[in-house]
Amino acid sequence: MISRFSLQSRPAADVGDVRRHDDLQFLSFPGGERHVRLPASALGCSDRCWTLTAHLYSAEGVMDLLLLTDALRRAAPAGAELHLVMPYVPYARQDRVALAGEPLSAAVFCRLVNSLDFVSVTIADPHSDVVPALLERVRVQPAADAVRQLRAQALGHLPGLALVAPDAGARKRVEQVGKALGLPVAYAGKTRDPATGRLSGAEVQGELPDLPLLIVDDICDGGGTFVALAQVLRERTRQPLYLYVTHGLFTKGLAPLQAHFDGVFAAHCANPDLAAATALTGRSA
């Protein structure tokens, strides 16, 4: 997966037109070291409010973020505000030490970001409460905002809808979305072997509403856990089944998921080639 960046500025916070600075340059030296260069439009620009948007999906992208931030501080006027928009937080799933000898990777990454001293760091629907607690000056975009858009647009044709929390870790998130949108919530469970990460089971807990079902979660990686849950749900209902994730990594593509779901949606898609197919506005977007 390839990380992506964009850069914008304006004369001051909430003042003046937004100026885009396209053509950020990235390269690797023969020895493997990364290098970046700001576009000419950012050099000598007097704007005092800058926003760097980073979609980080690779280790190279993390290094590029560090380098871009340094280059921007050198180019921007003294005292200019620098803001970071980073929807997906790398290492957020490694928010605890499961086995002896492992690092607390989420803490390591958050310390890196904190060291860059942004005025604000905006993230979308983090995996747990750990990352917002570790990041300084953090702003969180809740899942409810994206699910509300999905309900109004791609799923606007449905007369009713119920949400499904796929596991215990998602319950708080899905209950918050259900409360914000006035939708009922059903519950499921999934377990993994902590040593191997392999899925060991999926089950539906309690009764299912006789409504189309939307599984809501923060991340889809390969999608195996969602496929297993979809198979269990299909045994319990004939209603349409949909999947929403805030961060669609889709490392095995969409085909395995589309074989089991009537629609798959992501607020932020790691693969640009899959963005249209998973857009919250529907396939025609």
CATH of the domain at 242: 3.40.50.2020
Residue 66 pLDDT > 90, yes or no?
A: yes
Residue 281 in any domain: the answer is: no
Same domain flag for 78 and 189: no
Least confident of 10-14, 20-24, 163-167: 10-14
Domain count for the chain, please give it.
Answer: 2
Residue 1's pLDDT band, with cuts at 50, 70 and 90, is confident
Q: Which of 141, 162, 189 is the last residue of a domain?
A: 141
What pLDDT sits at residue 14? 84
Tell me the mean pLDDT in the region 171-179: 96
Percent of the chain with pLDDT over 70: 95
Residue 193 pLDDT > 80, yes or no?
A: no
Global pTM?
0.92
Same domain flag for 174 and 133: no
Same domain flag for 9 and 133: yes
- Cα 226 to chain centroid, rounded: 17
Q: Higher confidence at residue 270 or residue 192?
A: 270
Same domain flag for 13 and 72: yes
Same domain flag for 154 and 33: no
Residue 169's pLDDT band, with cuts at 50, 70 and 90, is confident
Same domain flag for 48 and 119: yes
Taking the C-alpha atoms of residue 84 and residue 166, their distance in angstroms, rounded to an integer, is 30
Same domain flag for 184 and 94: no
Same domain flag for 147 and 229: yes
Range of the domain at 52: 4-141
Residue 204 pLDDT > 90, yes or no?
A: no
Q: Which of 110, 141, 172 is the last residue of a domain?
A: 141
- Read off the pLDDT of residues 34-49 as tens digits, 9 standing for 90 and up: 999 999 999 989 999 9
Q: Which of 126, 141, 156 is the last residue of a domain?
A: 141
What pLDDT sits at residue 179? 97
CB 195 within 8 A of CB 102: no
- Report the side by side order of strands in the sheet with 162-165: 199-205, 185-192, 162-165, 213-220, 241-248, 263-269
Tell me the mean pLDDT in the region 224-237: 93
Residue 284 in any domain: the answer is: no
Average pLDDT, the chain: 94
Same domain flag for 132 and 152: no
- Read off the pLDDT of residues 206-226 as tens digits, 9 standing for 90 and up: 889 999 999 999 999 999 999
Residue 190 pLDDT > 90, yes or no?
A: no
C-alpha to C-alpha distances, 272 to 2, 88, 255, 269, nearest whole angstrom: 9, 15, 16, 7
What pLDDT sits at residue 51? 98
Taking the C-alpha atoms of residue 95 and residue 109, their distance in angstroms, rounded to an integer, is 10
Taking the C-alpha atoms of residue 155 and residue 207, their distance in angstroms, rounded to an integer, is 23
| Longest pairwise C-alpha distance within the chain | 63
